């Protein structure tokens, strides 16, 4: 379901609940004959108002769901793709016999990407984790270029700093996301 369609349905449901509260209020007012409102009418009004308030609390999560689902797919595939990049680099280094000691970078990268596989996108952290997943691709390309000798080896420092940034971004809101 598209983002605009979801937004439309959420707002449409909200308007229905607002109308239900207004209708119940109108019925309650018509039942007031100067000696108070019957308990049943007041209870029905309170119940419809409670339903509206509960739905209004859920609205932010409902409106964010399409973006969260998109982030979930990006996170799912990014970490798996980067695991395959690391594995391919290990195999390539082995077959070419030109490891040059780069296993100390590629093996931890492979393990770290495996640990990223179970990451989930919650409403409160999906953007941070999506951005971390995009940054992971940049680091994967940089790692491949360093290991294959295309760029200068001192960029290892950039890789290590980048890994820390990705780790912090991926862990953002982890307790709340469980």
Give percent of the chain with pLDDT exceeding 70: 90
Please tell me the distance from the alpha carbon of residue 75 to that of residue 65, in angstroms, as a whole number: 15
Domain extent, residue 149, equals 3-177
Is residue 121 within 8 Å of residue 131, measured between CB atoms?
A: no
Inform me whether the pLDDT recorded for 172 exceeds 80: no
What is the pLDDT, as a whole number, of residue 81? 95
The residue ranking higher by pLDDT, 8 or 172, is 8
Please tell me the distance from the alpha carbon of residue 27 to that of residue 74, in angstroms, as a whole number: 50
33 falls in which pLDDT band (50, 70, 90)?
low
For the full predicted model, state whether its pTM sits above 0.85.
Answer: no
The token pair that represents 127 in the structure block: 């953007």
Mean pLDDT, the chain, as a whole number? 84
Number of domains in the chain: 1
Inform me whether the pLDDT recorded for 44 exceeds 60: yes
What is the pLDDT, as a whole number, of residue 77? 94
Inform me whether the pLDDT recorded for 59 exceeds 60: yes
160 falls in which pLDDT band (50, 70, 90)?
confident
Which CA distances in Å does 155 have to 32, 63, 79?
78, 41, 22
Per-residue pLDDT tens digits for 75-123: 999 999 999 999 999 998 888 887 677 888 899 999 989 988 888 888 8
Please tell me the distance from the alpha carbon of residue 44 to that of residue 25, in angstroms, as a whole number: 9
Is residue 45 within 8 Å of residue 25, measured between CB atoms?
A: yes
Inform me whether the pLDDT recorded for 173 exceeds 80: no
Q: Which residue has the tokens 């207004």?
A: 22
Which CA distances in Å does 93 have to 88, 105, 143, 147?
8, 12, 13, 8
What is the pLDDT, as a whole number, of residue 178? 45
């Amino acid at each position: 379901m598209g983002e605009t369609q979801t937004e439309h349905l959420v707002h449409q449901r909200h308007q229905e609940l607002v109308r239900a509260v207004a209708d119940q209020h109108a019925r309650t007012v018509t039942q007031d004959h100067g000696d108070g409102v019957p308990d049943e009418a007041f209870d029905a009004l309170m119940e419809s108002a409670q339903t509206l308030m509960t739905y209004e609390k859920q609205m932010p999560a409902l409106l964010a769901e399409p973006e969260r689902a998109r982030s979930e797919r990006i996170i799912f595939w990014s970490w798996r793709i980067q695991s395959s990049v690391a594995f391919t680099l290990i195999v390539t280094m082995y077959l070419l016999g030109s490891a040059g000691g780069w296993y100390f970078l590629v093996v931890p990268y492979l393990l770290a990407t495996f640990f990223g596989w179970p990451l989930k996108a919650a409403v409160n952290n999906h953007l941070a984790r999506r951005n971390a997943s995009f940054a992971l691709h940049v680091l994967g390309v940089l790692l491949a270029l360093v290991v294959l000798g295309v760029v200068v080896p001192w960029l290892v420092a950039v890789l290590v700093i980048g890994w820390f940034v990705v780790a912090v971004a991926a862990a953002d809101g982890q307790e709340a996301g469980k």
